[in-house]
Structure 1
Amino acid sequence: MPSTFTIADRPVGPGHRPFVIAEVAQAHDGSLGAAHAFIDCAAECGADAIKFQTHIAEAESTRDEPFRVRFSYEDATRYDYWTRMEFSAEQWAGLARHAREAGLVFLSSPFSLEAIALLEALDVPAWKVASGEVGHGALVDAMLATGKPLLLSSGMSTYADLDGTIARIARAGERSALAVFQCTTKYPTPLEEVGLDMLDAFSRRFGVPVGLSDHSADTLPSIAAMARGASLIEVHLAFHRSMFGPDTKASLVPEQLREVCRARDAIHTMLTHPLDKDGLAKSLAGSAALFTRSLALRAPQPMGTVIEADMLTLKKPGTGIPETERDAYIGRRLARAVPHDRLLRPDDFAPGGA
């Protein structure tokens, strides 16, 4: 599988600017207007992509499905909740169009074959495989059939689970681009369980771009992951953590997303501009003279004084006799009286030896 690929003409992989995804998930709470407002917010913050979740209750759930967290005041069952989260095909098309007009890549995680068909009609440029869907072979196969990149979340998977699904993806051929996200499915995730070490582990094991899907509600994991070389970052977005919904306490607020995007650009600049240490030192030679030192006297000395080692010291600037020539002036006789508040000069010394 390729070590780099593109999502809507944006390169993803080592050496490229990290691809930041603002995850709305269910923060819109079924409001189409709120969903559109999230698009504008993510664009203003500088995200590369906005991601929703496409749930079709009848296709993915039953009334036997329990709530992960019993949070809803108006939904008797999780099935009812998924139904309330649905948008029509036309509404999804409007969201996709709005996102692209705002300069964002439009993504949405599908949770059924029907959702894949709906999103494929909107020409989503990549597929996010949610943590709970990694072992859903039919869903993965349907995504692979489109030839578009897969973004695989590892949150609920063992290595064996990931190995099996990634082998399935690899069998689809070289065209099957893949990225793997380190993800801890806890809302919010404590810092000690973010798992930054998994970025290196996944990179070595799978040889594909790696990312962090973070639920800590903190900017630090994303920033640290990018500094460590993560190619993708996914964070939940909420207008405020007191908003209604199951994920808002694990989300970033707009100011935090803006900071992550600012860090993305700064870190990419720093990582892609290797330093020519010697060249930089040469370019700073003029400034360096202000900070380095030259030979000077500890105390004023009269003409004819024979210089001894303990009479010498080093003072700024570094424009006079360098320390490396110190021994050559020990034992020399002063040709004139020399004060201690200026640098020594070669013509302060009598010609020849002592």
Structure 2
Amino acid sequence: MTSETTWLHQPGPAASCTIIAEVAQAHDGSLGTAHAFIDAIAETGADAVKFQTHIADAESTPGEPWRARFSLQDETRYDYWKRMEFTPAQWRGLKAHCEDRELLFLSTPFSEQAFELLESIGVAGWKVASGELTNRPLLEKMARTGRPLLLSTGMSALAEIDRTIAWLEPFKIPSLVMQCTSAYPCPPESIGLNNISLFRERYGASGLSDHSGKIFPSLAAATLGAQAVEVHVTLSRRMFGPDVPASVTVEELEQLVTGIRYLETALNHPVDKTHLPESVAELRPIFMKSVVINRPLSAGTRLERDHLAAKKPGTGIPAHDLEQVVGKRLRRDAAADHLLTWADLED
């Protein structure tokens, strides 16, 4: 494994997290809709668009069961995958569109034939679906290309992930292990943010593939050191498709991008609390408090606690020295709200 911190590309000088917008099957087989997703995602500032490449004959049989029966026009799951297919020329057009919009083009292959198709077109890296983590022949084909691998782990426990990482070790390619929970949508108690640091320590690099339909897990993951986050995206919550409940809207994706970049800036600029910046030091006299007389008192009065109060501005004896003032005598008459200085006092 590698501890390399640049994943697919470096988004900016203060950025460390690549933000991947997952279209998956949200285009519902419409090439025009797939292109519309690219334009919408580009406007959010995300770094990459990810599709899924399904070739029905290569990955499925007519007997494949539905995860959830959602389609009104596909008799079988196989029929649905068939309808999701694009031709090689159409895939090339999608990649070219991504490049025109300065987005990384990614697509998950679900068969060796799909891998060969994507390899001929060119991808920035390989996103491995949770169900393919044990598909050693496919993984090794990906690894031989030398491109980065992003591995979802939603259907595997640590022992199985360890085995996959061991398979990949000889290839010496950048590999990032993504915490993923295969629930659509995923409830907050199942997101597993604790695994961001666990995977980074165990495998060298980590990320989050989220199905919550919220922006909060990815924001948290970025602050925990995730080097890539992936969220499903929908153009509208009224769209058709099985992933809509597990998706963020384009508007929410824009908020996510803004939030991650904001947090990265904050995290990359630590504040040294051993010294105050000049801008803050200048505010101290305005906001800090001084010891004041709370009623008119005559010279020679021995000050008691109930003679004193702490009030702004902070240009007199600091409020934290109030107890040292108790028992001192006034050198001169003092009006109410007089800010005491040490010159006003004697033992």
Range into which the TM-score falls when normalised by the shorter chain: over 0.9
Q: Is the 8 A contact 2:9 2:18 kept in 1?
A: no
Q: Is the 8 A contact 1:56 1:112 kept in 2?
A: yes
Instruction: Give the aligned partner of residue 197 of structure 1.
Output: 194
**Amino acid of the structure 1 residue aligned with 2:45:** G
Instruction: Give the aligned partner of residue 118 of structure 1.
Output: 117
Q: Is the 8 A contact 1:7 1:125 kept in 2?
A: no
Instruction: Give the aligned partner of residue 248 of structure 1.
Output: 244
The aligned runs of 1:220-231 (5 Å cut-off) are: 220-231=216-227
Structure 1 residue 306: Cα displacement: 4.2
Distance 2:250 2:198 in 1: 31
Instruction: Give the aligned partner of residue 177 of structure 1.
Output: 174
Structure 1 runs not aligned, ≥5 long: none
Distance 2:8 2:194 in 1: 29
1:267 maps onto 2:266 in alignment: no
1:51 maps onto 2:50 in alignment: yes
Aligned residues: 345
**Amino acid of the structure 2 residue aligned with 1:179:** L
CA shift digits 1:305-338 (9 cap, x unpaired): 3444543332211111234386368433423x21
Instruction: Give the aligned partner of residue 331 of structure 1.
Output: 328
Structure 1 residue 348: Cα displacement: 3.9
Q: Is the 8 A contact 2:5 2:227 kept in 1?
A: no
Distance 1:250 1:308 in 2: 66
Structure 2 runs not aligned, ≥5 long: none
Distance 2:303 2:10 in 1: 69
Structure 1 residue 69: Cα displacement: 1.4
Instruction: Give the aligned partner of residue 10 of structure 1.
Output: 10
**Amino acid of the structure 1 residue aligned with 2:2:** P
Give the CA RMSD over aligned residues: 2.1
Distance 2:328 2:247 in 1: 73
The aligned runs of 1:143-158 (5 Å cut-off) are: 143-158=142-157
Distance 1:309 1:248 in 2: 66
Scaled by the length of structure 1, the TM-score of the pair is 0.91
- Percent of aligned pairs sharing the same letter: 48
Q: Is the 8 A contact 2:23 2:233 kept in 1?
A: yes
Instruction: Give the aligned partner of residue 209 of structure 2.
Output: 213
Secondary structure in 1 aligned to 2:258?
Answer: helix
Scaled by the length of structure 2, the TM-score of the pair is 0.93
Structure 1 residue 293: Cα displacement: 1.8
1:277 maps onto 2:273 in alignment: yes
Distance 2:243 2:305 in 1: 72
The aligned runs of 1:226-237 (5 Å cut-off) are: 226-237=222-233
Secondary structure in 1 aligned to 2:275?
Answer: helix
CA shift digits 1:103-140 (9 cap, x unpaired): 11110001112211221122211000101101111100
Secondary structure in 2 aligned to 1:180?
Answer: strand
Q: Is the 8 A contact 2:105 2:123 kept in 1?
A: yes
Distance 1:328 1:186 in 2: 65
Distance 1:299 1:87 in 2: 85
**Amino acid of the structure 2 residue aligned with 1:68:** R
Deviates more, 1:313-322 or 1:145-154: 313-322
306 and 66 in structure 1: CA distance in 2 versus 1, 3 angstrom threshold: closer
Distance 1:219 1:159 in 2: 26
